[in-house]
Amino acid sequence: MFFPLVIALLVMVTVSLLVYGLSQGLGSGQRILTHRLEQIRRGAGPPSKTPIPEYLRGRDPGKLGPFAKLLGTSRGVESAALELDRADIPLRVGEYMALRIAMGFVFLLMAFILTKMIYIAPPMWVVGYFLPRWYVHSRWKGRQAKMNAQLVEMLGLVANSLRSGYGLLQGFEFASRQLAPPLGTEIKRMLQETSLGVHADVALQSLGERVRSPDMEMVITAITIQRTVGGNLAQLLDGVSYTMRERERIRGDIKTLTSQQRMTGIIIGALPIFLGLLFFFINPDYMGVLFNETVGRVFIAVAVGLEVLGIVTIRAILALDV
């Protein structure tokens, strides 16, 4: 009886702190803006502040009050802000961390209510805590794949602009107008940084950090080298574009040649789960021993671990880097 009360209390405290932080954050951005404009109007100039990393700009963890400040200034803030930037999720670090903790307690409470098993609740809290991060990582990978598919088109547009007599940044501006999101949006952000006084090389490196793609790193490296030693940049970009097209062709060939092995891995991985569900519906009492007895639960835990190990091993074997 004591354990459910503790869980309920923790969930209530977490939700209360989150609601309080949200209420404290409403209108804070407008108040800060008004205060700064009033200082400039009086001739005091913009307020001095400690420089913060580039990827934390706009990710102020203080918009949710003391609770988010505590979360947002902990270790790993910069990496969390960079993950949110890469996934294009409009959350601050404090909001993101508060969501992860609240999700963990929700999963913990649901697991205990549904199963009445104390030892299942902590692993479910871990699952709930890392679920938002998995979503952020998955969304980033999706955006990265879309941007990789747009890189060849971007290189063609920039190279044609350079042949027409435009400069590099003008070529990127032309490409940003022609490209659809997400790559067009990232290039516009890079151009905005240069218009605010950021050096072009720094803006390009920031673009590479946000995209985090080997193909984009190759493009940025080629541009950086050309800006240092000189040469025909349009011809260089054409060569990079040709290399990327060949790499994509080789990736397609590898995917075709390994399709049978990948399908075999999917079938082998899904077979134990399918048979377990089938036997459970055919004879629930027989399969219930695995869930009601301690030895059966140990067997289930070992089976799940071996299943995960097999999936990871098969994926590692089929992962060929081009």
Long-range contacts of 47-51 (CB under 8 A, 24+ apart): none
Cα 92 to chain centroid distance, Å, stands at 13
Q: Is the model's pTM score more than 0.75?
A: no
Distance CA 105, CA 224 (A): 47
Query: What sign does the dihedral 248-180-174-225 (CA atoms) show?
Result: negative
116 with 2: CB under 8 angstroms?
no
Instruction: List, in order, residues 6 or more apart from 202 with CB less than 8 Å away.
Output: 193
Average pLDDT over residues 291-305: 83
Instruction: Please determine, for residue 123, whether its predicted confidence score (pLDDT) is greater than 60.
Output: yes
pLDDT tens figures, 194-247: 998 888 889 998 898 888 888 889 899 989 888 888 888 999 999 999 988 998
Distance CA 54, CA 127 (A): 31
Give the CA angle between residues 72, 77, 82 to the nearest 5°. Answer: 125
Average pLDDT over residues 51-79: 51
pLDDT tens figures, 138-172: 999 999 999 988 999 999 999 999 999 999 999 99
pLDDT tens figures, 72-85: 555 567 788 888 88
In the chain, DSSP assigns E strands to none
Q: Which domains does the chain have, with CATH numbers?
A: 2-140 (no CATH), 146-256 (1.20.81), 258-318 (no CATH)
Instruction: Please determine, for residue 99, whether its predicted confidence score (pLDDT) is greater than 60.
Output: yes
Question: What is the three-state SS of 65-109?
Answer: CHHHHHHHCCCCHHHHHHHHHHHCCCCCHHHHHHHHHHHHHHHHH
Average pLDDT over residues 275-297: 85
Average pLDDT over residues 55-72: 47
Long-range contacts of 258-264 (CB under 8 A, 24+ apart): 258/318, 258/320, 261/317, 261/318, 262/318
